[in-house]
Amino acid sequence: MSPRRERPPARLVLADGAVFEGEAMGALVASPANPEPAALATGEVVFNTSLQGYQEVLTDPSYAGQVIAFTHPHIGNYGVSPEDEEAPRPFCRGVVVRDVTERPSNWRAGGDLEAFLSRHKVAGITGIDTRRLTRHIRDEGAMSCALGTAGEAELLAAARAEPGTLGADLVSEVTASEPYRRPATGRARALSVVAYDYGIKATILRHLARVSSVEVVPATTPADEVLARRPDGVFLSNGPGDPAALGHLSAEIGKLLGEVPLFGICLGHQLVASALGGETFKLRFGHHGGNHPVKRLSTGTVEITSQNHGYAVSEGSVEGAEITHVNLNDGVIEGLALEELRAFTVQYHPEAGPGPHDARYLFDDFAALMEKAS
């Protein structure tokens, strides 16, 4: 067996002064891919409860501005693979784990997690008591943090200077710069969809391509340009940050509602609510994981869902919208339907990636809505 890697000591310091000691990895450690390691990184720390799918989590653009703490104690055990990436690179600020696996074992593995983090300049820390950290976040709420090899005082100052995600437009950091297309893969008569990229995941595109051809457009694309393409439907993707800071995006959505069938996921769900005059609020510690129970009100069915969001729609703030799904953990709105406007949205991730497949039917529901309207 090869000897254990030597890593410099490091700390995770939260804005409230809580300190967690561990060892540096990723961008905090010198390597051939990262010859000049960073001394620290900052962001809003959140915890994710998924038992697998760490690469999909790390490359989900919705984590822009955040530091991800995994509650599962062993991370990296099956390595990394290009097929599991949800975006060309991670947009998260950092990674916190209890124990990173040094020797991955999986026939699909194209490398190990530490090398992946180094290559993409993502700061990481291992050896952290993630149980204690998770309890702290649940009690005190998600907050800014700093992690690195710098001194404790410097890390605390950096954590307190980090603004977090409240009021932040992070979509501009992750959206595509130019439109691009994905051909349909699964229908004899392909529908056509224009998908707004607020931080769209590769798995979402695969599911959309099963029912339609897809043209992905940047987040700031005007509604009239989208309608000029004469799509059968418009899709609004997931994405990072505070929906209340994205009024310029929800204004364009308001011009699309009623003009074309529309389906929104996660941030897309929140922006539709905002376009209709609804309000959003920041959750205490967010929903991040692959095991959240959601009740489908029309049938009473409970779906186990994948979720990743720190904000939610305020109940009663969206007039004329039917609530279709609710979170059984805390009662948060998880779905809206606007029958007259031919639109529906969900807060969770029906594409999973990672997570259960209970809600994949929603992509077929979108196809049926488009076919009925055509």
Active site residues: 266, 349, 351
Which residue is listed with tokens 């186990």? 304
Report in angstroms the alpha-carbon separations of 135 from 69, 71, 104, 131.
12, 10, 29, 6
Q: 79 and 112 in contact (C-beta within 8 Å)? A: yes
Two tokens at 168?
Answer: 């932040």
Contacts of 137 (CB under 8 A, 6+ apart): 45, 46, 47, 69, 143, 285
Dihedral (CA of 262, 265, 268, 270) sign? positive
| Residues contacting residue 368 through CB under 8 Å, at least 6 positions apart | none
* Structure tokens, 326: 């609710």
How far apart are the two ends of the chain, measured CA to CA in Å? 63
Pairing mode, if any, of strands 301-313 and 280-296? antiparallel
